[in-house]
Amino acid sequence: MQVLTKNLIFEPLLGTYSNRNPTEVQLNEEIQDEFARDYLFAKEKLEVATLLGYYDDMDDDRQQAYLQEAAFDLWREAREEELNGLKNLLADFVAFLSVIALLLIGRRQVALIRNVSSRTFINLRDPVKVFLFILVTDIFVGFHSAEGWEVILLAMFQHFGVPENQFFINGFIATVPVIIDACIKFWIFNF
């Protein structure tokens, strides 16, 4: 649902809007910095190629036209990257609403799946249950979990087109895995 709505609904809508109103799309600071770095790289690449004699026939006007075209292409890519976060957010919201609707419509099927999975877990041997508990807690709270959480959070920031926030990442890593671990241990203790 997320892929379909993003590609069939929001891609054409936001794509045509950004093409008609290119200056209306505001770039966040991180994407602006990336755009500036890419433009400087293209400019330096042209200067080096010119110094090495690859572009002997290129005068100042042609160099300016080349840089203007590179800037336009890089700006279009930066604008698409910025809009990609909005498209992902809207498509994820539609997918979330679809899942909620399916859960509400298929309550009996959800209850059946829940009962089958619960019975399957209860029927496992005790060593297998303990192994699964240890595996899950080590994945979320183990020695290497901080790096895993950081990768997941950075991917989410990039998915939604939000600039990376190291303060939020560190706070999340310091609290959420501990809460998950406490909930799992409480669940083990209760049942």
Place of tokens 């920031």: 157
**DSSP output for 6-36:** IIIIIHHHHHHHHHH-TTTSPPPHHHHHHHH
Q: What is the pLDDT of residues 5-60, one digit of tens each?
A: 988 988 888 877 777 776 666 777 777 888 888 989 988 988 888 888 787 777 77
Element (H, E) at 177: helix 166-190
Angle between helices 145-160 and 166-190 (to 10 degrees): 120
Query: What pLDDT, on the 0 to 100 scale, is given for residue 28?
Result: 72
Read off the amino acid at residue 129: K
User: Quick check: 139 and 145 in contact, CB under 8 A?
Assistant: yes
b/e per residue 26-47 (b: at least 16 CB within 10 A): ebeebbeebbeebbeebeeebe
Query: What pLDDT, on the 0 to 100 scale, is given for residue 24?
Result: 65
Half-sphere exposure of 149 (CA within 13 A, CB side): 22
Tokens of 54: 């690859």
Place of tokens 């026939």: 57
Query: What pLDDT, on the 0 to 100 scale, is given for residue 97?
Result: 95
Tokens of 42: 């293209």
Query: What pLDDT, on the 0 to 100 scale, is given for residue 153?
Result: 92
**Whole-number CA gyration radius for the chain:** 25
Low-confidence ranges of the chain (pLDDT < 70): 22-25, 143-144, 191
Query: What pLDDT, on the 0 to 100 scale, is given for residue 84?
Result: 86
Query: What pLDDT, on the 0 to 100 scale, is given for residue 22?
Result: 64
CA–CA gap between residue 191 and residue 179 (Å, rounded): 18
Half-sphere exposure of 172 (CA within 13 A, CB side): 17
